[in-house]
Amino acid sequence: MHPAQPLQSRLFWRIAAGMVGASLITVLAIALTSPGPFGLTVGLVCGGATALIVAYVMSRRLIRAATELTDDILTLGREKLQLPEVDSLGTEFVRLVDALEATDRRLRSRFGEMERHRKSLEQNTTLLQTVFSAMIEGVIVVNTEQEILFANDTARTMLEIRSHEQSGRRIWEVARSRPIHDALNKVISTGALERIEFELPRQKRTVSLTAIALPEEPIPGVVIVLHDVTELRRLERTRQDFVSNVSHELKTPLTSIQAYADTLLEGAIDDAGHNRQFVERIVEQTERLRTLILDLLSLAKIESQQEVFEIQPVPISDVVSDCLDAHRAVAESKEVTLICPETVDETTVMADADGLRTILDNLVNNALNYTPAGGSVFLEFSRGDSWGEIRVRDTGVGIPRDQLPRIFERFYRVDKARSRAVGGTGLGLAIVKHLTQEFGGSVDVSSELGVGTTFRVRLPVAAEHATTGD
């Protein structure tokens, strides 16, 4: 069907309607000039015929002109705009709509995937930040310009970096440490992993640094991992000191035993005036060696928790009384007075009875060894809200203030010559510290040179004896 045909039909009927109107007017005119039925009939026939003929002729002419105009427009459209044939316009429009709908569905699906990917990235970022915040190692990421891209809380604390100083700043501007700067330069220039260990003087820390380049080419940046090894190095030094000290402590009595034994074998055994004295020295050094080994075994068991303690309520007054009885003879021989309050305190603490006796024995023995003749050693005890406190106070030589922090270390001696002269092993205070900790308590010391020393042992009060205040 030609596009102009529907238009032709509409024009025909509109023109015909107009002509019919004109015919009616003609009929009325004839009827007025020729009255009667015959005049009216003739008018209707003539007017209707005339209207139809005129309408047909006019519609044909108009439609011919419209058809030609439509053909010209369609020809121009196909040539200039490359439109499809008229018959396929509807089909192409439907295809275009379908293609747009399909594109819309694909875009919606893609946007959904991107949103899910964004949420996944946010979750992963939050997870990584949580992990980095919980790490005991410091982590810093810098670019090749050494600008800080990321630093976790541990790294900021370790290098004293403030949060507002981090963003966009170079690491050597906020953390003035030459070893870090040198390590970064080596990694950026060579791409090789770098490990160093350096000191932070202000914080008195030893830090192990590992720097590794990010895995791209060229290097986009460097990851720095900082590990505080201060405690590790201290333990290593303590272990080295322990090995050195225990070797020396074992060698001293063994050397004496061997010397006296060799002297006896070389003929002194027949010397009635000296042989017994040599044997007594051998026995003395053997006892010292045995005591040292027993103390080492005891300390090893306590530290490894192999020693089984029966933690139960123990009356302080009973343990203090037993300790006084055990050391009174030694105190008298050294002309040192042992003093204990006469008032009876019924304080009961949670501890192992034998372990608590060991604590008091070591503290009293230590006080007697470092208190000159004419001095005094006091045993005092009192009760707080939830703690029972035992104090061993002497009027001895005292301890220098700078040596107080090390007094509980194994084999540490303030006066090495005096310690060996009185037969100390250097392990007594270390045993006191570990036993007190095993019982859930604490021990501390205060001292003044020439005035004396006070050790305080605090242990939990038994529940049935705890009070809300004194």
Statement to judge: residues 316 and 460 lie in one domain? yes
Asked if residue 64 belongs to a domain, the reply is yes
What's the confidence (pLDDT) of residue 209? 92
Q: Answer yes or no: is 108 within a domain.
A: no
CATH code, domain carrying 213: 3.30.450.20
- Give the pair of three-digit tokens for residue 335: 């002309």
Answer with the one of 264, 279, 304 that is the final residue of a domain.
Answer: 304
Where does 135-229 have alpha helices with state H?
Answer: 153-159, 163-166, 171-174, 178-190
Same domain for 319 and 431, yes or no, is: yes
Q: Which of 172, 195, 228 is the last residue of a domain?
A: 228
What pLDDT, on the 0 to 100 scale, is given for residue 81?
Answer: 46
Domain that includes residue 63, residue range = 5-83
What is the pLDDT at residue 75?
Answer: 60
Contact 177, 198 (CB under 8 A): yes
Q: Tell me the whole-structure pTM to 2 decimals.
A: 0.51
Whole-number Å distance between alpha carbons of 320 and 327: 11
Is residue 244 assigned to a domain?
no
User: Distances from the Cα of 215 to the Cαs of 168, 186, 218, 223, in angstroms?
Assistant: 22, 16, 9, 10
Angle between helices 275-304 and 230-265 (to 10 degrees): 160
Number of domains in the chain: 4
- What was the pLDDT predicted at 16? 56
DSSP assignment letter at 85 = P
The CATH number of the domain where 298 resides is what? 1.10.287.130
Judge if 277 and 361 occupy the same domain: no
318, 278 in Cβ contact below 8 A?
Answer: no
Rounded Cα–Cα distance for residues 363 and 432 (Å): 8
Only one residue has tokens 């380049």, namely 213
Q: What's the pLDDT at 86? A: 47
Q: Which residues of the chain have pLDDT under 70?
A: 1-90, 92-94, 97, 128, 132-134, 163-168, 304-308, 342-345, 414-425, 464-470
Closest CA to 139 of 25, 37, 44, 227: 227
- In CATH, what number is assigned to the domain containing residue 332? 3.30.565.10
- Nearest one of 379, 311, 380 to 349, comparing CA atoms: 311
